[in-house]
Structure 1
Amino acid sequence: MIRKIFLTGLGLALTTLFLHAQNIPPYLDTTYTDAERADDLVGRMTLDEKIAQLQNRMHLVQPGETGVGSFGFMSNDASPYAGSEEYNIYQRAQIENTRLGIPATRSGEGLFAYMGNGSTSFPSPIGIAASFDPSLQAEVAGVLAKELKSRGVRRVLAPVVNLTRDPRWGRTNETYGEDPYLSGQMGAAYVRVMEKAGLSTMIKHFVANMGLDGQFTGPVHFTERHLREYYFPAFKTCIEAGASSVMMAYNNLDGIPCATNPWLIRDILKGEWGLEGFVSTDGQSSTFIMESAGMYKTKKDLAVALMNAGCDKSSPSDFFDAPLREALQEGLVPEARLNDAVRRILLQKLEAGLFEEPYADPEAAARLNNHPDHRAVAQEAAKRALVLLKNDNNCLPFPKSAQKIAVIGPLADWLIIGHYGGFGREEVTVLDGVKALLPDADVTYEKGVEMQYFGYPAIDETHLSGPLKAEYFDNENLKGQPVVIREEPKIEHDWKSARPERVPSSNFSVRWTGAFTSPVSGAVSLGVTMDDGARLYLDGKLVLDEWKGGGRRMKETTVPLEAGKTYPFILEYFDGGFGSYIQLGWDINENINIPRAVEAAREADAVIIVAGMYENENWDRTDLDLSEPQEALIRAVSQLDKPTAVVIQSGTVITMNDWIDEVDAVLMGWYPGCEGGHAIAAALFGDYNPGGKLPITFPKVTGQVPLNYNRHPKGKEKIKFIGDFNEPLFPFGHGLSYSQFEYDNMELSASTIQPGDTVRLRFRVTNTSNRAGEEVAQLYLHDPYASVTQPIQKLIGFERLALEAGASKTVELRILPEQLKIWDINMNHVIEPGDFELMAGASSTDIRLRAQLTVTE
């Protein structure tokens, strides 16, 4: 294998002569440019070899085959070492058994973790955005790059720079929030690090991936001006930062699927913005378009539309196999368009160094993934992502001298990591974090209620007909004789690493046999919450079958029951890896355990309620409230008049109208990553001073949505919602601290400039408190008079400051010509002469300083 070498002068010349003398083709010769190598390789390829580069499948290539362009996802369930070894086997066959030896690309999700076994997980992107610190995103990306690359991943399907303009959208947690500038800065920081490390980034999803109703894949009908003002800028910034590919959105834009929209791909991405890399559909997007768009009768029709619009890869890739061949034969797609698509894919492989370094390093993969140093970065990221939303009466931080602490709620001893966060590592819950921080305190735990969609209260001894017979097996399939047989009072287990003696730490199975008596008549939902798989038999009949691996989830079945009747049941469960959870519950009384939580809180010096919600891809919401049982728990505990803080784990905003006035403190933890519990505990007890800010507006009630800070002015500001629902609960940029900060001394390097000039703005921020803290100073712009209406304000700069008690720092931000431009009445991107208002402050509504900048003719 020829390794990439860096030579100059005579050494480079001699190396070139040597390679040419050995008849090394230019595409393998690193003395040629990547573009020249790509051109040479395309010129040598047959039609079959070109089509192969458009294919995406896990395939062990046999001698004489044309191979595949990419393996896609592979070995996600395997350990880092085993997965890397398997990848090397497939890659070696790909290189050695094909005529041209073109390596295949392994793709991986890398938003905030490698989406597989044994990786480090960081806070979800919206949490990282709450840090308002691109350098933190760069540090996180650096760790992710090491873990991904060690496993052979060279194409990372990230970052997501879609805007969340409606937080009901389930993919809110994947984004950087609602603001174009913040999203662009965070996304660009990710892109630069990944591309420099030899991983090709695929920014997604172009464009406006959230429907008008807040639903995933919903159609949008936006004007060009609206797209250019809000939805285009972050993508453009990432392409300028070096992003090498783009994933198109699922949805339709003004009636045309984004992946078949030539204006988006040919005119904007490849034309106006000069994208040299390739463009791909989203996963299974081609199938969705085929089935739902009502535009394409055959696969060939869609293949033609995709390719001629400028889309270079399809998922699934069979659209670009036989259907594309047929289209090429019929002249419906020019061969030059195929060559362009193949060249773009090959160029990305060459730029990533895949030809010179095609293999993974299993030893490095085992060493680097979930490394303690990486977890330390995850903990720091989780701290910097925290946003202190409310802190009346200086409720926080709690004193570390507190002797009795109650940690309650459905997420007190469970972290939500998120769909893209991987699995197979220790995850530090808030309960874990508090116990570790205060080892001598009396820490009590009560769940109180179950997490919405993830469980019902366990069927307990009151309704069970005596103890259950539990049989434990040392394999996943209930084979052979049980290694342990014992009685258990109910089925409610979160074993983590503690299992019965003689039971393996993983890959075991259990069978419970017993009976329950129903207290009600009617339809009752039985819910089995599990990590991995389970089966439930009722009265000898299989009523629930979820015998497959997977993360924690609840599967439920509704059955007719009669009050007073006893029902025999058998529940079978298997554990296939890290983490073991199983619970059998029902929905008869979801608030039944609240009194136990209240009693735990009654005896405590400090109460921590950890609540939240789960949303995800294909998990959009109709409301943004916590579940009713969680709100009932908060209200019940708040009546005790104890020092109480609510910690939220969520990937989107939470409306709190029904309980916010009853608690003193609220801390937003987002999906905090595998070290989240340590970070949250440190903030609650004063070892860390929160400094994050909201990258998205929190409404009071769902009916205010969409509610964005940078909206255009209303026609009549006096038109209001009925009730007190006209302002947000917490505005964009909001975040409190245990310190206080003052702003003063704003000055411009010039108050009058001409179009095209850059101006510097300076102001001072002082920590006026007696403890060190961090503040995010934010700069907003408003153009009060323009040829078309402009947003009431927009973020154009920010800086996160760390200030010791009493210390000051001068913030200096450049105002660039691009930030003053608007899309005028004729859709020209221009700077219009006139006055611009500049506003600096602690949030979009907490403006401390103002200045005027005048642009002259």
Structure 2
Amino acid sequence: MKCNKSKRLSYTKKAKEIVNSLTLEEKVSLMGGNVTLNDMLSDLRDADERKHYNSYPYPAGGIEKDNVPPMLFCDGPRGVVCSAGKSTCFPVSMLRGATFDTSLEEKIGNAIGKEVHGYKGNLFAGVCINLPYNPGWGRSQETYGEESFHLGEMGRALVKGVQNENVIACVKHFAFNQMEISRFKVNVECDKRTEREVFLPHFKKCVDAGAAAIMSSYNLYKGTHCGHHDYLLNQVLKKEWDFDGFVMSDFIWGVRETVEAANGGQDMEMCCTQFFGDKLVEAVKNGQVKESKIDESALRIVRTLLAFKDAYSNEYDESVIGCEDHIKLALQAAREGITLIKNENNLLPLSKDKIKKLLC
């Protein structure tokens, strides 16, 4: 049975029983990554080709005694990052967006979900649907285009494809992430109508499609870091949109402070626990964060992980990674996404003598 929202919610009672049996320290341990910053930096610096960013699924949380598996993170979006040279490398999302083919994108999601299983992961964090406000954004190729309806349709298709293989689809980066280096400090201002008509609808579409995880963004929105943002995470995502899954931070700098992040709706600090862990336990004991907030986050995490664990079958092994069928699918997407210019009046090849403007 596919792990849709109704199935996940059926695990609420079981998840509550587990959470109620845990100590505060155990509940907080669910809310942080199990990879240290030094480990991650070591992988980035290592000359061994088998080691690189996310060369294996990055774990977070997990309670072994209660059979709650850790979340096992695999990045994207061009396929599964984990092993250099083995995973199927699909065209960038921008080219896949140029196909305008949601059924093809869902098939790509199916293939990616199978390869995540091949690596023994359980989450794919490659559903990138940010709207590039500035064409100078260096990672704009990681998203599908520049229009909310289009982003939502393509993102929803990828969510469905990945989760049809019983892999958690994580949608990112929520919200207003539209530049690279300055994303760590930029403060985005936006009027309510633009927020609701331009920057948030595609995220809601993915939530309505059943996405089980959301990654918050580094940037600030109206003066507050999005990983701490009560309005975005608690009020809009969880309450208004009735999102049942969990929120994880973007890596390392996605959480900047313990109390505001926990109260603001952040469920999991990734990848390296710096502000949750012991600091969050202390904040609860000091009365700065209610234990009920910890219980809510732990419930969301446990419920999701249990549901996907029980839905998973051992159908796929490493042989599915980079297999012939997936390579053919990548080639199909590449062909369908290519845009050709019709050579009328012998305009091509382009010449400065023949053409002054490409766009008017």
TM more than 0.5: yes
Distance in structure 2 (CA, Å) of the matches to 1:54 and 1:342: 7
Q: Give the equivalent residue in structure 2 for 1:265.
A: 233
Aligned to 2:218, the other structure's residue is in SS state coil
Deviation at 1:236, TM superposition (A): 0.6
Runs (4+) off by over 4 Å: 76-79, 355-361, 659-664
Contact 1:112 1:125 in 2 (8 A): yes
Deviation at 1:48, TM superposition (A): 2.1
Deviation at 1:188, TM superposition (A): 0.3
Q: Give the equivalent residue in structure 2 for 1:341.
A: 297
* Distance change in 2, residues 1:162/1:660 (3 Å): farther
Deviation at 1:78, TM superposition (A): 4.3
Contact 1:103 1:355 in 2 (8 A): no
Q: Give the equivalent residue in structure 2 for 1:34.
A: 11
> Which consecutive unaligned segments of at least 5 residues does structure 2 have?
37-42
2:32 maps to 1:55: yes
Amino acid at match of 1:151: Y
Q: Which of 82, 85, 91 does residue 116 from structure 1 map onto?
A: 82
> Which consecutive unaligned segments of at least 5 residues does structure 1 have?
6-29, 60-72, 291-301, 396-642, 645-658, 665-723, 731-857
Distance in structure 2 (CA, Å) of the matches to 1:126 and 1:370: 21
Deviation at 1:116, TM superposition (A): 3.1
2:69 maps to 1:103: yes
Distance in structure 1 (CA, Å) of the matches to 2:311 and 2:226: 35
Contact 1:166 1:214 in 2 (8 A): no
Contact 2:132 2:140 in 1 (8 A): yes
Q: Give the equivalent residue in structure 2 for 1:310.
A: 265
Q: Give the equivalent residue in structure 2 for 1:389.
A: 341
Distance in structure 2 (CA, Å) of the matches to 1:282 and 1:100: 27
Q: Which of 21, 37, 41 does residue 44 from structure 1 map onto?
A: 21
Deviation at 1:661, TM superposition (A): 4.4
* Distance change in 2, residues 1:214/1:151 (3 Å): closer
Deviation at 1:314, TM superposition (A): 1.6
Deviation at 1:216, TM superposition (A): 3.8
Deviation at 1:351, TM superposition (A): 2.3
Q: Name the structure, 1 or 2, with higher relative contact order (CA <8 Å, separation 6+).
A: 2
Distance in structure 2 (CA, Å) of the matches to 1:310 and 1:253: 15
**Bigger proportion of residues as strand:** 1
Deviation at 1:660, TM superposition (A): 5.8
Deviation at 1:261, TM superposition (A): 1.6
2:140 maps to 1:188: no
Contact 2:96 2:105 in 1 (8 A): yes
Residues 495-515 of structure 1 deviation map (CA, whole Å, 9 limit, x = unaligned): xxxxxxxxxxxxxxxxxxxxx
* Distance change in 2, residues 1:311/1:372 (3 Å): same
* Distance change in 2, residues 1:358/1:197 (3 Å): closer
Amino acid at match of 1:112: R
How high is the sequence identity, in percent, across the aligned residues? 27
Contact 2:93 2:141 in 1 (8 A): yes
Deviation at 1:182, TM superposition (A): 0.5
Deviation at 1:356, TM superposition (A): 6.7
2:86 maps to 1:130: no
Residues 329-381 of structure 1 deviation map (CA, whole Å, 9 limit, x = unaligned): 011111110000011111111221x25759896xx21x111111111111111
Q: Report the TM-score, using the length of structure 1 for normalisation.
A: 0.37
2:347 maps to 1:379: no
Q: How many residues get paired? A: 337
Q: Give the equivalent residue in structure 1 for 2:251.
A: 283
Distance in structure 1 (CA, Å) of the matches to 2:70 and 2:283: 25
Deviation at 1:58, TM superposition (A): 4.2
Write the mapping of 1:505-524 to structure 2, written as runs, cut at 5 A: none
Write the mapping of 1:335-484 to structure 2, written as runs, cut at 5 A: 335-352=291-308, 354=309, 357=312, 364-365=317-318, 367-389=319-341, 391-393=343-345
Distance in structure 1 (CA, Å) of the matches to 2:301 and 2:17: 14
**Bigger proportion of residues as helix:** 2
Residues 728-769 of structure 1 deviation map (CA, whole Å, 9 limit, x = unaligned): 728xxxxxxxxxxxxxxxxxxxxxxxxxxxxxxxxxxxxxxx
Amino acid at match of 1:347: R
Aligned to 1:189, the other structure's residue is in SS state helix
Amino acid at match of 1:39: K
Distance in structure 1 (CA, Å) of the matches to 2:19 and 2:314: 23
Distance in structure 2 (CA, Å) of the matches to 1:214 and 1:150: 33
2:134 maps to 1:160: no
Residues 44-70 of structure 1 deviation map (CA, whole Å, 9 limit, x = unaligned): 1112211221121249xxxxxxxxxxx
Residues 553-608 of structure 1 deviation map (CA, whole Å, 9 limit, x = unaligned): xxxxxxxxxxxxxxxxxxxxxxxxxxxxxxxxxxxxxxxxxxxxxxxxxxxxxxxx
Residues 289-313 of structure 1 deviation map (CA, whole Å, 9 limit, x = unaligned): x4xxxxxxxxxxx211001111111
Distance in structure 1 (CA, Å) of the matches to 2:169 and 2:247: 11
Contact 2:216 2:254 in 1 (8 A): no
Residues 693-740 of structure 1 deviation map (CA, whole Å, 9 limit, x = unaligned): xxxxxxxxxxxxxxxxxxxxxxxxxxxxxxx98xx728xxxxxxxxxx
* Distance change in 2, residues 1:275/1:660 (3 Å): farther
